[in-house]
Amino acid sequence: MSVSQSVSTIIIGAGPIGLELAVNLKQAGITYRQFDAGQVGQTISWYPRQSHFFSSPDRISICGVPLQTVDQSKATREEYLTYLRTIVQQFQLKINCYEKVTQINSLGPHQYEVVTDKDTYQAENVICGIGDMHSPRMLNVPGEDLPHVSHYFDEPHKYFNQKLLIVGGKNSAVEAAIRCHRAGAKVSMSYRGEKFSERSIKYWLQPEIQWLIEIKQIPFYPQSTVTQITPGSVTLQTVDGIEQVDADFVLLLTGYEMDTSLLKQAGVHIQGPNHGPAYDEATMQTNLPGLYVAGTAAAGTQNSFKLFIENAHSHVVKIMRDLFGKDPKRINPLAYVHMKEETPPTDQMPES
């Protein structure tokens, strides 16, 4: 492969924070390239159709551009993907989508060779905004790979009038259970915990799922684990013994894990129970000078979500300040709130 022209900065990932970084690099006149193994907002495109964000539009908007929704409430998956595409068009961002970064080679402080499946590039700095939801958390039980078993919930229609067992007890599992029940599926739920945590479920879903369980519309198996899946049933180990649950389909909504292999290959230290990258919280720089993490990629595998879009805007400010000594021109003001700075530098903030 030939080495393409050198740029100041390479951004890996085209999610919301990656786009917010790209807009501000471009506005500052800094040469950069941006890559994504998939499409813009790839992880968000995996969300169930018509699912709603937990955060309000004001909190997940980027680059100072308002996020408008049809009913002025929380954005749907479709509305947010449309918004991200609009950001790309409005700021004329050039993104190398479907070009996967396979290696980051450090040639020295602020000297990097970035290898993709198509070409090789050089940059002084690399910002990894690769997200944290790369693969489902596997149960490693017999039958997990059967065709009627999935780790992803897309939409409820396919489960109409079918026996559906949903495994999991956090937001994605609860929302899927309610939506599939309303669509006419015969839903059951298995959860390893004794009860659902209010901190892990959208507040408007909590009373709904509790009510459906109480009136026995959704059979619930608390403190249970899957031991085997067959084409027509699932074996659960419960506190009372073995339970056989009939199931035409099985949704294993047990969370996702971050793939840190690219960061490890680059030489970034991985640490802690979340197996996340080590970095300086003041600058977002890792142990490698010039290599930064941004967005949820900084969190590692999140068992309890603490880092998401709305509290990652500050990463853009920290990186811009550390690399170029200036604040971003187009940024969600929440960035400064999370940095506990009372007033943003208004002379550099965009007009509302």
Q: Which domains does the chain have, with CATH numbers?
A: 3-134+258-338 (3.50.50.60), 137-252 (3.50.50.60)
Closest among 169, 165, 218, 177 to 195, alpha carbons compared: 169
The structure tokens listed for 264 are 């490890």
Q: Is 214 helix (H, G, I), strand (E, B) or coil?
A: helix
Contact 25, 324 (CB under 8 A): no
Three-state DSSP state, 272: coil
Q: Which of 168, 141, 142 is nearest to 153 (CA)?
A: 168
Report the pLDDT value the prediction gives residue 339, as an integer from 0 to 100: 92
For 189, phi then psi, to 5°, come to -130, 140
Phi then psi for 12, rounded to 5 degrees?
-105, 115
Q: What is the pLDDT of residue 345?
A: 53
Angle at 305 between CA 44 and CA 310, to 5 degrees: 60
Q: Percent helix, strand and coil across the chain, each rounded to 5?
A: 25, 25, 50
- Are 322 and 301 contacting, i.e. CB atoms less than 8 angstroms apart? no
- Residue type at 155? E
- pTM comes to 0.91
pLDDT beneath 50: ranges in the chain: 1, 347-352
Q: How many CB atoms sit inside 10 A of residue 56's CB?
A: 15
- E-strand stretches of the chain: 3-12, 32-36, 96-97, 101-108, 111-116, 120-128, 135-136, 149-150, 163-167, 186-190, 220-221, 225-229, 233-238, 241-246, 249-252, 256-257, 270-271, 276-277, 291-293
Compute the distance between CA of residue 10 and CA of residue 349 in angstroms, rounded to an integer. Answer: 24
Cα diameter, the chain: 66
